[in-house]
């Protein structure tokens, strides 16, 4: 059910192209990684002209400004902390995405710097009742 709802978030322009057999279902599913319809259309224009229109290429272009959830900074900060601070995580409901992509890189950097500073001050911090070990890259 979530996958169908996610497809409904794809740009109406791209849905029309799909309905006219202008793209494959796999390509359409790749566009659902983001709700940003203007960005979806921009990526479609880019790949449609270039010929590099594989679904993985679409996902790569849509997430090129984001950081993977498996990145060291994201693991250090934690997805819960990032989202609680207002960060958005892009998730692909059709492919394994290793936890998604963190959209706000500047926020992630600030949270990582803050946590690092706190760890240097106290060695161990208490975060929501849990003890956090200091990060060692």
pLDDT (tens, 9 = 90+) of the chain, 137 residues, equals: 566 677 888 999 999 999 999 999 999 999 998 889 999 999 999 998 888 889 999 999 999 999 999 999 999 999 999 999 999 998 887 766 667 899 999 999 999 999 988 877 775 544 555 555 555 55
Paired tokens of 85 = 């601070």
The pTM is what?
A: 0.69
Scanning the structure block, which residue is given the tokens 């995405």?
97
Report whether 88 contacts 104 (CB < 8 A). Answer: yes
What's residue 75's pLDDT? 94
Backbone phi, then psi, for 24, in 5-degree steps?
-85, 165
Report whether 28 contacts 10 (CB < 8 A). Answer: yes
Report whether 61 contacts 47 (CB < 8 A). Answer: yes
What's residue 19's pLDDT? 95
| DSSP character at residue 22 | S
Backbone phi, then psi, for 28, in 5-degree steps?
-60, -45
What's residue 26's pLDDT? 93
What's residue 62's pLDDT? 92
**Please, what sign has the CA dihedral across residues 96, 13, 65, 6?**
negative
What's residue 76's pLDDT? 95
What's residue 97's pLDDT? 62
Beta strand pairing call for 130-132 and 125-127: antiparallel
What's residue 73's pLDDT? 95
What's residue 91's pLDDT? 85
What's residue 80's pLDDT? 94
């Amino acid at each position: 059910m979530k996958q169908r709802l996610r497809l409904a978030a794809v740009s109406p322009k791209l849905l029309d192209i799909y309905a006219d057999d202008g793209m494959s279902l796999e390509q359409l599913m790749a566009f659902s990684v983001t709700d940003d319809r203007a960005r979806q259309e921009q990526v479609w224009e880019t790949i449609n002209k270039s010929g590099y229109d594989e679904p993985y290429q679409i996902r790569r272009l849509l997430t090129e400004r984001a950081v993977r959830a498996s990145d060291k900074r994201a693991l250090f900060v934690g997805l819960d902390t990032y989202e609680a601070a207002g960060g958005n995580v892009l998730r692909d409901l059709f492919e394994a995405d290793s936890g998604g992509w963190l959209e706000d890189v500047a926020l992630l950097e600030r949270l990582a710097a803050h946590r690092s500073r706190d760890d240097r001050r106290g060695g161990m911090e208490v975060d929501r009742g849990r003890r956090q070990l200091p990060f060692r890259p």
